[in-house]
């Protein structure tokens, strides 16, 4: 799956200019955002809308395995699942990508050859990002070399929180160059940025530095994707698109397990940034267990009754 | 940069209809009056129709209370006051109030549907705002009933007696709860007159009072029109009048009450200013403006119907506001995804239309949301006027509909001066990321309620009411008890 590249973005002479640009963004009122999210969570998706939304959500999944215990065999079965989530129903949409650690990219590449499913790899000393830049770049280079279509990098949260914004910016730019055409998702790790103002500033910083996607989380900290963070990031990509003409995607990762959660994100997109983002080239779910719940609900929509969870593969 | 590449936001994921069932309302063909704990035979009264404003079709017939009906209700309330309610220990009165609150929760779905059918407001609001808040008011004042001595009005404050309460059509059930709960907690008995176009939810509430075994006569509900209300206000047997409605009717009531020395509280109209400074959180500002004026189709006395925006961000705010307005889902109030429902009556629609036409004639720039409106019933598309000046009628008169007038200002002083340039004084909103400025502005605004970085938020613990031509007296909170105690 190919994502359109970001074309136009401003350049900053130094960190002072970058900080001024970020200071110029209007603030975020957390109470208001929470209120808005709660209101949109009451949207009721029924019948044909629900079926359509479930298929859309399935096609947006980056099926992910990021464990120390990952093996080539585990990646093989995940790839098979990404290509054909429900072998008994060939109309089920395939996932958008399979997301693995860099050393397993080659395996994933081999198993996904000839399918629409992309290979995504985390890189840059995922999940902490605590490594010298040269190591991070080598990490990225290896993943790209092995055939990754998409790179999920982490920002240096320590640098961001201590105000070294220029450093964060430069790292993203350097990683982007190292991607050599692979699409760059920038993980903000919003659970560690804590405030919605920080989320908004980090979103803009990443977009200015060349992110093709901004992504919430690694899935490795206690707070991952939340609807309030999702709303703030969606508003950021919308405003960025209006300002620069460039479309940046959003990936919500970690903690999204149910169809209900996923559909609420689709409603957020629908009523915030518009239908252009209701597509896997601009919106992704980084998840693993979500897929089976979507499959379960999809079957329910079709048959009118729930089937046993064991009907779907445990991968 | 145009947003042409942002395709219509609702175009792609179109929501299939998700209607709540109208049958949940379990409406009767006709309703009598609720006097002395019993419903009278509808056929013994002159009956009038109440319509579903979303279709224009009749829903049910109800009794028009006559002068003698009002008299019977007041006498029943007096008897209940003197024989039961006044001397009942506060903890016992509280039990009834708790029971009523729980029964409202139990019948929440039914009440929400009844309210939506009769009023035209979306089910999302009746389900999430009107009904839960009504229950919350009873819960809250139930807690006060045995603690009146600690409310700050003396060691053993006395009730006033019989309260005549007249409520409007914009929040029929919620306003009944606002009136009844503190009155009953304080030991008064009540005669409640619901609005002419929205009597049904109060009649369901009457059923709930029966279910709760409330002693007969403690609450009497007399439906009817303006003449019924006038008879209630003029009745010599009442000790207190509480009215929510238009400033014009409020004046007449005050004139009548002035000759009697009875207690009076009035909650009247408004022309609330929503003040936006350039540093405000813009996305939340837009939601706040939308909540401020399009909540309940703008049929809100405290609606933020004047938008005052700092000139430096006025264009940006207007652009974003229009885009957001186009996303509002206007239509079938029973659909769970509807944001804006029907205007309550033909009369109100005429009034809105007349003022909007005046706005256009006076040279303000009109923008109405691009939604399709149903072809029957009473509807008005969400509308914003820009280039409005202070002399325009749409900046001065209460429209009581989904119509917003946008003005600009340059300095905080100018914002305050413009916000206060109205005879009303009910509610204002201030939007800024700078707390010191918010407080500076709030101190200078002449309004009973001031919201900071939000709008139209209600809670039973918070007093609500106006100054100047928006009335006097407070409802909600400890302060709400004062209106029903002899202090």
Domains in chain A, please, with CATH?
41-303 (3.20.20.70)
Considering only CB atoms, B288 lies closest to which of A32, A49, A52, namely A32
User: Is residue B6's pLDDT more than 60?
Assistant: no
A195 touches chain B (CB under 8 A): no
Q: Write out residues 206-235 of A within 8 Å (CB-CB) of B.
A: 235
Distance CA B253, CA B233 (A): 7
Quote the minimal CA–CA distance from B472 to chain A in Å: 30
DSSP code of A288?
A: S
Q: Where residue B4 falls among pLDDT bands split at 50, 70, 90? A: very low
Distance CA B333, CA A261 (A): 26
B316 touches chain A (CB under 8 A): no
Report CB contact under 8 Å: B9, A271: yes
Distance CA B96, CA B89 (A): 12
Nearest to A315 by CA among A120, A79, A122: A79
The per-residue pLDDT for A7 is 52
B274 in helix, strand or coil? strand
Distance CA B30, CA B23 (A): 16
The per-residue pLDDT for A161 is 98
Instruction: Name, in order, each residue with C-beta under 8 angstroms of B244's C-beta and a sequence gap of 6 or more.
Output: B166, B167, B168, B175, B178, B179, B266, B267, B268, B301
The one catalytic residue in A185, A212, A215, A293 is: A215
Digitized pLDDT (tens) for each residue of chain A, 315 residues in all: 334 444 556 778 899 999 999 999 999 999 999 999 999 999 999 999 999 999 999 999 999 999 999 999 999 999 999 999 999 999 999 999 999 999 999 999 999 999 999 999 999 999 999 999 999 999 999 999 999 999 999 999 999 999 999 999 999 999 999 999 999 999 999 999 999 999 999 999 999 999 999 999 999 999 999 999 999 999 999 999 999 999 999 999 999 999 999 999 999 999 998 888 999 999 999 999 999 999 999 999 999 999 999 999 988
Determine the Cα angle at B230 with ends B227 and B236, to 5°.
135
- A251 catalytic, yes or no? yes
B324 in helix, strand or coil? helix
Residue corresponding to tokens 């939604």:
B371
Beta bridge partners of B30: B61
Long-range pairs for B125-132 at CB < 8 Å and ≥24 separation?
Answer: B125/B295, B125/B296, B125/B341, B127/B20, B128/A42, B129/B174, B129/B458, B130/B171, B130/B173, B130/B174, B131/B104, B131/B173, B132/B105, B132/B108
Name the residue in chain B with its Cα closest to that of A241: B3
Distance CA A236, CA A214 (A): 10
Distance CA B109, CA B467 (A): 35
Contact B202, B176 (CB under 8 A): yes
Burial of A20 by CB count in 10 Å (0-12 exposed, 13-18 middle, 19+ buried)?
exposed
- A-B contacts (CB, under 8 Å): 99
Beta bridge partners of A99: A64, A120
A267 touches chain B (CB under 8 A): yes
Containing H/E element for B31?
A: strand B30-31
How many residues are there in chain A? 315
The one catalytic residue in B20, B125, B196, B267 is: B267
Distance CA B367, CA B358 (A): 14
Distance CA B169, CA B198 (A): 6
Containing H/E element for B116?
A: helix B108-119
Quote the minimal CA–CA distance from A273 to chain B in Å: 7
Q: What is the pLDDT of residues B306-340, one digit of tens each?
A: 999 999 999 999 999 999 999 999 999 999 999 99
How many residues are there in chain B? 487
Pairing mode of beta strands B403-409, B485-486: unpaired
Name the residue in chain B with its Cα closest to that of A232: B283
Considering only CB atoms, B15 lies closest to which of A49, A235, A276, namely A49
The per-residue pLDDT for B2 is 41
Q: What is the pLDDT of residues B386-400, one digit of tens each?
A: 999 999 999 999 999
Containing H/E element for A289?
A: none
Considering only CB atoms, A32 lies closest to which of B3, B281, B336, namely B281
Q: Where residue B259 falls among pLDDT bands split at 50, 70, 90? A: confident
For residue A127, say if its preceding peptide bond is cis, omega within 30 degrees of 0. Answer: yes
Is the sign of the CA dihedral B158, B160, B162, B167 positive or negative? negative
Beta bridge partners of B409: B310
A32 touches chain B (CB under 8 A): yes
Quote the minimal CA–CA distance from A41 to chain B in Å: 11
Contacts of B16 in chain A (CB under 8 A): 45-50
DSSP B18-39: -BPPGGGG---SEE--EETTEE
Share of chain B above pLDDT 90, in %: 95
The per-residue pLDDT for B8 is 39
Report CB contact under 8 Å: B284, A36: yes
Interface test with A, best of B1, B2, B14, B15 (most A CBs within 10 A): B15
Mean pLDDT (whole number) for B17-22: 96
Nearest to B409 by CA among B317, B313, B320, B321: B313
The per-residue pLDDT for A8 is 52
Name the residue in chain A with its Cα closest to that of B286: A32
User: Is residue B85's pLDDT more than 80?
Assistant: yes
The one catalytic residue in A81, A136, A185, A251 is: A251
Instruction: Name, in order, each residue with C-beta under 8 angstroms of A69's C-beta and a sequence gap of 6 or more.
Output: none
DSSP code of A187?
A: E
Report CB contact under 8 Å: A44, B14: no
A266 touches chain B (CB under 8 A): yes
The per-residue pLDDT for A157 is 97
The per-residue pLDDT for B274 is 98
Quote the minimal CA–CA distance from B467 to chain A in Å: 28
- B302 catalytic, yes or no? no
Could you tell me where the DSSP H helices lie in chain A?
15-23, 30-40, 47-59, 72-83, 105-112, 133-145, 157-161, 165-179, 190-193, 196-209, 227-244, 259-272, 290-303
Quote the minimal CA–CA distance from A241 to chain B in Å: 9
Q: Write out residues 271-300 of B within 8 Å (CB-CB) of A.
A: 279-284, 287-288
Q: Write out residues 70-109 of B within 8 Å (CB-CB) of A.
A: none
User: Is residue B348's pLDDT more than 90?
Assistant: yes
A273 touches chain B (CB under 8 A): yes
Q: Where residue B280 falls among pLDDT bands split at 50, 70, 90? A: very high
B8 touches chain A (CB under 8 A): yes
User: Is residue B163's pLDDT more than 90?
Assistant: yes
Report CB contact under 8 Å: B281, A278: no
Quote the minimal CA–CA distance from B130 to chain A in Å: 15
What are phi and psi for residue B460, nearest 5 degrees?
Answer: -60, -25
Considering only CB atoms, A275 lies closest to which of B9, B124, B288, namely B9
Contacts of B287 in chain A (CB under 8 A): 32, 35-36
- The rounded mean pLDDT for chain B is 96
The per-residue pLDDT for A9 is 64
Distance CA A276, CA A296 (A): 27
Contacts of B316 in chain A (CB under 8 A): none
DSSP B120-161: ---HHHIIIIIHHHHHHHHHHHHHHTT-GGGTTS-SSPEE-S
Mean pLDDT (whole number) for B187-212: 98
Q: Where residue B9 falls among pLDDT bands split at 50, 70, 90? A: very low
Interface test with A, best of B132, B283, B292 (most A CBs within 10 A): B283
User: Is residue B35's pLDDT more than 60?
Assistant: yes
Report CB contact under 8 Å: B284, A242: no
The per-residue pLDDT for A314 is 85
B329 touches chain A (CB under 8 A): no
Mean pLDDT (whole number) for B259-272: 93
CB count in 10 Å sphere of residue B423? 11
Helix-strand-coil percent breakdown of chain B, rounded to 5?
Answer: 45, 20, 40
Instruction: Name, in order, each residue with C-beta under 8 angstroms of B356's C-beta and a sequence gap of 6 or more.
Output: B366, B380, B383, B394, B399, B403
A7 touches chain B (CB under 8 A): no
Determine the Cα angle at B19 with ends B14 and B21, to 5°.
170
A272 touches chain B (CB under 8 A): yes
Report CB contact under 8 Å: B6, A243: no
Distance CA A15, CA A123 (A): 25
Quote the minimal CA–CA distance from A30 to chain B in Å: 9
Q: What is the pLDDT of residues B297-313, one digit of tens each?
A: 999 999 999 999 999 99
- B267 catalytic, yes or no? yes
Quote the minimal CA–CA distance from A138 to chain B in Å: 38
């Amino acid at each position: 799956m190919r994502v359109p590249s970001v074309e136009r973005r401003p350049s900053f002479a130094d960190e002072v200019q970058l900080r001024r640009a970020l200071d110029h963004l209007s603030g975020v009122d957390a109470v208001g955002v929470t209120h808005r999210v709660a209101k949109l969570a009451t949207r009721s998706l029924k019948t044909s809308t629900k079926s359509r939304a479930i298929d859309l959500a399935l096609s947006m999944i980056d099926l992910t395995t990021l464990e120390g215990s990952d093996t080539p065999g585990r990646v093989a079965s995940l790839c098979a699942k990404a290509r054909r989530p429900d072998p008994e129903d060939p109309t089920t949409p395939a996932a958008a990508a399979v997301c693995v650690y860099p050393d397993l990219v080659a395996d994933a590449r081999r198993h996904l050859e000839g399918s629409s499913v992309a290979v995504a790899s985390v890189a840059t000393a995922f999940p902490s990002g605590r490594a010298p830049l040269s190591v991070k770049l080598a990490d990225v280079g290896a993943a790209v070399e092995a055939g990754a279509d998409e790179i999920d990098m982490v920002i240096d949260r320590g640098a961001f929180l201590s105000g070294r914004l220029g450093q964060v910016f430069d790292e993203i730019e350097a990683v982007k160059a190292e991607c050599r055409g692979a699409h760059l998702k920038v993980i903000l790790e919003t659970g560690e940025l804590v405030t919605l103002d920080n989320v908004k500033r980090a979103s803009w910083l990443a977009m200015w530095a060349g992110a093709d996607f901004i992504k919430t989380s690694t899935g490795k900290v206690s707070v991952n994707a939340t609807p309030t963070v999702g709303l703030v990031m969606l508003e950021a990509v919308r405003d960025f698109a209006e300002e620069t003409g460039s479309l940046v995607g959003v990936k919500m990762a970690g903690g999204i397990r149910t169809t209900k959660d996923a559909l609420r994100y689709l409603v957020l997109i629908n009523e915030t940034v518009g239908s252009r983002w209701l597509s896997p080239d601009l919106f992704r779910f980084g998840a693993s267990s979500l897929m089976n719940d979507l499959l379960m609900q999809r079957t329910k929509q079709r048959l009118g009754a729930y089937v046993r969870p064991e009907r779907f593969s445990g991968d | 940069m145009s947003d042409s590449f942002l395709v219509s936001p609702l175009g792609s994921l179109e929501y299939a209809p998700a209607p709540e069932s109208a049958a949940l309302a379990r409406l009767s063909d006709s309703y009598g009056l609720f006097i002395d704990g019993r419903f009278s035979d509808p056929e013994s009264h002159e009956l009038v129709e109440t319509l579903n404003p979303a279709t224009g079709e009749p829903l049910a017939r109800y009794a028009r209370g006559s002068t003698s009906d009002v008299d019977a209700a007041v006498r029943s309330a007096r008897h209940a006051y003197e024989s039961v309610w006044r001397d009942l220990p506060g903890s016992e009165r509280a039990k009834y109030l708790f029971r009523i609150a729980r029964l409202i929760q139990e019948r929440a779905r039914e009440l929400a549907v009844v309210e939506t059918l009769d009023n035209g407001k979306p089910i999302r609001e009746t389900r999430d705002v009107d009904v839960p808040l009504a229950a919350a008011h009873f819960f809250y004042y139930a807690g006060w009933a045995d603690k009146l001595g600690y409310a700050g009005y003396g060691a053993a404050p006395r009730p006033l007696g019989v309260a005549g309460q007249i409520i409007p059509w914009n929040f029929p059930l919620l306003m009944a709860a606002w009136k009844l709960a503190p009155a009953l907690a304080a030991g008064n008995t009540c005669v409640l007159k619901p609005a002419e176009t929205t009597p049904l939810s109060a009649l369901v509430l009457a059923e709930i009072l029966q279910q709760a075994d409330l002693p007969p006569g403690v609450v009497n509900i007399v439906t009817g029109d303006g003449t019924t209300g006038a008879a209630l206000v003029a009745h010599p047997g009442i000790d207190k009048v509480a009215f929510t409605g238009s400033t014009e009717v409020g004046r007449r009531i005050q004139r009548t009450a002035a000759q009697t020395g009875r207690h009076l509280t009035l909650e009247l109209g408004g022309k609330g200013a929503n003040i936006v400074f350039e540093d405000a959180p813009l996305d939340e500002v837009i939601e706040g403006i939308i909540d401020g004026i399009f909540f309940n189709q703008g049929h809100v006395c405290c609606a933020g119907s004047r938008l005052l925006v700092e000139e430096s961000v006025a264009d940006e705010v207007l652009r974003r506001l229009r885009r957001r307005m186009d996303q509002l889902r206007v239509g079938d109030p029973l659909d769970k995804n509807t944001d804006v429902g029907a205007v309550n009556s033909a009369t109100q629609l005429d009034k809105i239309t007349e003022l909007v036409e005046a706005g256009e004639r006076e040279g303000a720039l009109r923008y109405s949301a691009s939604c399709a409106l149903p072809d029957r019933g009473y509807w008005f598309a969400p509308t914003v006027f820009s280039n409005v000046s202070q002399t325009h009628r749409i900046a001065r008169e209460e429209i009581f509909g989904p119509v917003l007038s946008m003005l600009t200002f340059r300095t905080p002083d100018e914002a305050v001066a413009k916000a206060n340039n109205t005879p009303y004084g009910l509610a204002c909103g201030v939007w800024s990321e700078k707390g010191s400025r918010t407080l500076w502005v709030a101190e200078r605004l002449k309004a009973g309620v001031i919201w900071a970085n939000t709008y139209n938020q209600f809670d039973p613990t918070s007093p609500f009411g106006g100054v100047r031509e928006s009335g006097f007296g407070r409802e909600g909170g400890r302060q709400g008890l004062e209106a029903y105690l002899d202090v």
